[in-house]
Structure 1
Amino acid sequence: MPTTAREIHKVLTFKSGNFVFSRRFDQDNIATELKVFHACYDIIASLPTPPHLAAFLDADLIRKSIFSTAALEGNPLDEKAVGALLGREGPATAANDFEREILNLKATHDKFILAANKAKDAKPLLLSEDLIKAVHAAITIGVNDAAISPGLYRNTPVQVGNPEHGGTYVPPKILEDIKTLMAAFVDWINSDALLRTDPVIRAALAHYHLAKIHPFRDGNGRTARMIEAMILAAAGYRLIPSTLWNAYYRDMHAYYIAFSKSENNADDSVQPFLEFFFKSLNASLEEFRARIVEGVKPLLYRDYVAYLKNQARELSPRQHQLVELLLAAGDTAFDSHDLRQTNPFKLLYRQVSDKTIRRDIKNLERLGLICKTGNRYRLIDDAR
């Protein structure tokens, strides 16, 4: 694997020796990964997404993502509890520190990522120490922990990781070294070489190196992932940035292993982290695609039903109304007895013969709008 000195930038610290900023990786491998990502993203971005479906996806995927990035750092609230907390009406209040962390993440996401999503022109996000401190402060503000100083660098040594997740890592230990490295990090990530790098790669490198410096007592992982998401959002990518957090959480062990392998690489290559990053990116794309398709299928089903009634004339008005009632009822199994005896169907069929009921059911089955399970019927999967 050919390398050049320009791929490595070393900064001498007082207590921790040389700290390496690296953009050394397998260029051919990552170039292929980038081509695959861009091709898949362009296809997914072109899928039809009605405004109400887009709004639902935004809320649902962001909820999952906030749960995931918090859970990575040990927040015990499950996804249902996170959803209930974020779904409350009125001013959000937290009953404990765990809820405060969730509300902070949502507020930080809205302030820094949604703002980037609304920008008309995609352009590289220039990082600054003040911006990184502001993100950290927003994530940790109000948490009742004396060890947390929102937006302030630490002045105590910490140890990261554990043997189960690839081993432990000791980041730079003292405030002077952290100040030196954060200044160097900002200069490096904003350098011409990094700004010319694909923003997908730049986002991953920012995530990795910020986590490696570990400048704060707590909240480093959440801050690094938020910064990564902000760079991607500024580059014009929607939903994928925070959806990455879901993939990181689902493969938590591999996430920490990727950090450990890159930190311990003899040639300072960040290939292990980038390989995991692209694996997670592909998982995020698939999740996004599946959610769009899942949301669009019922809309296509309704359009098809309307076509069968209005153009093909294969559905009677009553049969069309039955389909609409079934759609409103959700995943409901029924038989001919239900249509005559239960609400809301009996209002449609109370003055209709059993033969007509059977004919309506048979026609819906013939047209592939319903399917039979045992002795009962239900809408096909695409309708739900």
Structure 2
Amino acid sequence: MRTVNTFHSSRYVFNSGISSDALPLVSALEMLLDIPSQPRAFSYLTDSIMARCVYSILNMDESRVTYEQVSRIITHDRSNFTQDSSSIEAINVYYALQTAENRLTEPLTTELISDIHAELTKNLDKPEPGVYRKMSAQCEDKAFISNYSPPASALDINFLMKHLTEWLTCAETAGLSPLMKGLLIHLHLKKIQPFVSVNGKTAKIAEIFMMRRHGLNALPFLLQEVYAQNRDEYYSSVAKFYETSDISAFAEFVSRRLILSIGQGTRTNLSYIRQNSVEKYLAGLLHDKELISRQHDFLMMLYKTGTSFSYEDMLLKKPFTNYYGKVSRTTAARDIKKFLDMGLIEESEKGYVFNAKFLSI
């Protein structure tokens, strides 16, 4: 935790701690994110991910632009949009995301945050793109959060932005997960509200930058859909952060919603991981001569097809006779006993089946 005394506002707290109530959900999500993923497992989430991200960021502000329009807009050059403000806002979000994406090798700096803001306000009637505000301001989220006022003076804003970027790149926060680093930059940018306008969009794209820079792939983009689809809960959690400087409520909200969102993909991904593990394990048994080729190939067939079999099936029915049609009845019986002893097959109501749980803890 870092507490600083501002010049004209109250004390400001930078705190990365998580309450014991929120920790189980946050830890569960972070554990899921550490599991190696097969891209095909999450294809239902990642298709058209950039268009969906742009649309979701715009949708948080109840933009008039539709998803179909966003999908078309981001395929064109920015110079094609000069009149319609909704189209300009959409292409600006896209270009701001590209700016963040192109600078993933750089550390988080106040300059990068200003550059993101400048992209978001380009060709719009917004004051001083990329420049901190020099006057007091109402909370941008006043429609949802009525009892918070951001730091008022330019001196405090500069001071807090410098501390924020230093804090998120120092030893104290080095061990935080990519998820937590992203959520922290998001919430603190919203709370400091350094610019005259579009602080919320700036915060979300800075969040994507931090998560992407520190190793997350699709999730930072998907998270923007979570915010847009759960707007009331989002602002309620933000309000708690404004009041307490405690990220716990927001982190718990994000973790719960993301676990639900990626559940299908996680189950599919785990099945791919299990398949890879089974194949490698059986290949290892073959390499170590604990299995011979016939036994290995038979077990792989059982695993991939989910077929059940009996002793008689091995000797009389296809596809089992492809492996045991030319061996003695004694050899078939001996192999069944061997597979049972090794835990590779188990008995079921329909006969013997591959034991898909043999690698489980």
**Fold agreement, TM-score > 0.5:** yes
Partner Cα distance (2:74, 2:58) in 1? 13
Shift of 1:77: 1.1
Report the equivalent of 2:195.
216
Contact 1:240 1:284 in 2 (8 A): no
Deviations 1:150-180 (A, max 9, x none): 1100012211256762434210011111011
Distance change (3 Å), C-alpha of 1:257 and 1:238 = same
For residues 111 and 77 of structure 2, what CA distance do their matches in structure 1 show? 32
CA contact under 8 A between 1:108 and 1:135: conserved in structure 2? yes
Give the C-alpha shift of residue 214 in structure 1. Answer: 0.5
Give the counterpart letter for 1:112 in structure 2. A
User: CA contact under 8 A between 1:161 and 1:256: conserved in structure 2?
Assistant: no
User: 1:291, CA displacement in angstroms?
Assistant: 11
Contact 2:22 2:248 (8 Å CA) reproduced: no
Per the TM alignment, residue 87 of structure 1 is displaced from its structure 2 partner at its CA by 4.0
Change (3 A) 1:127 1:27: farther
**1: distance between equivalents of 2:247 and 2:30?**
21
Distance 2:62 2:137 in 1: 17
1:137 matched to 2:112:
no
**One-letter code aligned to 1:18:** R
Q: Secondary structure at the match of 1:173?
A: coil
1:26 aligns with 2:19: yes
Corresponding residue SS for 1:165: coil
Deviation sequence 1:11-66 (CA, Å, 0-9, x none)? 22222121221223215742x334422443355722536xxx96x97561211111
Whether the 8 Å contact between 2:96 and 2:117 is mirrored in structure 1 is no
Deviations 1:242-269 (A, max 9, x none): 111110010111111111112223xx42
One-letter code aligned to 2:90: I
Separation in 2, partners of 1:105, 1:286? 28
Matching residue of 1:14? 7
Q: Which runs of 5+ in 2 are unaligned?
A: 270-317, 319-361
Aligned-partner SS, 2:94: helix
The whole-number CA distance in structure 1 between the counterparts of 2:267 and 2:69 is: 24
Q: Which runs of 5+ in 1 are unaligned?
A: 1-6, 120-124, 293-311, 313-384
Q: Which amino acid aligns with 1:210?
A: L
| Other structure's SS at 1:246 match | helix
Tell me how far apart the structure 1 counterparts of residues 74 and 61 of structure 2 sit (CA, whole Å). Answer: 19
Query: For the Cα contact (< 8 Å) 2:78–2:91, is it kept in 1?
Result: no
Report the Cα distance in structure 2 between the residues aligned to 1:144 and 1:90, rounded to whole angstroms: 16
Q: Based on CA coordinates, which of the two structures has the bigger radius of gyration?
A: 2
Match of 1:40 among 32, 36, 44: 32
CA-to-partner distance for each residue in 1:309-351, whole Å, 9 max, x for gaps? xxx9xxxxxxxxxxxxxxxxxxxxxxxxxxxxxxxxxxxxxxx
How has the CA–CA distance of structure 1 residues 16 and 94 changed in structure 2, closer, same or farther, with 3 Å as cutoff? same
Q: Determine the structure 1 residue equivalent to 2:48.
A: 60
1:278 aligns to what?
255
AA paired with 1:135? I
- Is 1:70 the counterpart of 2:58 in the alignment? yes
Q: Distance in 2 between matches of 1:191 and 1:133?
A: 20
User: Deviations 1:262-311 (Å, cap 9, x if unpaired)?
Assistant: 2223xx4221122122234334534866999xxxxxxxxxxxxxxxxxxx
Letter in structure 2 aligned against 1:133: S
Measure the CA separation in 2 of the matches of 1:188 and 1:12.
15
Identity of aligned residues (%): 22
Q: How far does residue 114 in structure 1 lie from its aligned partner after superposition?
A: 6.1
- Residue type of the partner of 1:72? M
Paired AA for residue 129 in structure 1: T
Tell me which amino acid in the other structure corresponds to 1:131: L
The 8 Å contact of residues 178 and 215 in structure 2, kept in 1 or not, is answered as no
The structure-2 alpha-carbon separation of the partners of 1:258 and 1:290, relative to structure 1 and needing over 3 Å to count, comes to same
TM-score normalised to structure 2 length: 0.67
The separation in 2 between residues aligned to 1:287 and 1:70, in whole angstroms, is 26
Give the distance between the partners of 1:278 and 1:60, measured in 2 at CA: 23
Match of 2:166 among 187, 205, 213: 187
Partner-residue secondary structure (3-state), 2:40: coil
Number of residue-to-residue matches in the alignment? 272
